[in-house]
Amino acid sequence: MLRVFQICAVLVVALLFMAVPAMAAEGDALIEFSPSAGAGIVMLGAAFGIARIGAAAVESMARQPEASGDIRGGMLLSAALIEGATFFALVVCLLAALK
């Protein structure tokens, strides 16, 4: 796990060193992030979050079947809140695209 963290840290530092001259350039930017890229990142984050909630809920229900109703309710509430935040972020990305 430490090795994966080290590789990710090196990649982030390398990306930052490459992005600084690109962002400081006059005129057209070399790197542009479109609203569709932002929407894609938001959707990936939401999918990952809901998948983690579902996995944890199923595991909890397997460990304590008598509490499955409460666990299911909490899972649905958490998933709904994530979906609401995702929808808000998607609307912001779409508004930025139409600007």
Q: Minimal CA–CA distance to 71: which of 89, 90, 92, 56?
A: 56
pLDDT in tens, 62-83: 999 999 999 999 999 999 999 9
Q: For residue 70, what are the CA distances in angstroms to 9, 12, 50, 51, 83?
A: 39, 40, 17, 18, 20
pLDDT of residue 82: 92
**Does 82 lie in the same domain as 38?**
yes
Judge if pTM exceeds 0.75: no
**Does 82 lie in the same domain as 59?**
yes
| Contact status, residue 39 vs residue 91, Cβ threshold 8 Å | no
Q: Range of 80's domain?
A: 33-99
pLDDT in tens, 13-58: 877 776 666 555 565 555 566 777 788 888 888 999 999 999 999 9
| Residue 30: strand, helix, or coil | coil
The C-alpha atoms of residue 79 and residue 54 are separated, in whole angstroms, by 9
**Does 70 lie in the same domain as 40?**
yes
| Contact status, residue 94 vs residue 36, Cβ threshold 8 Å | no
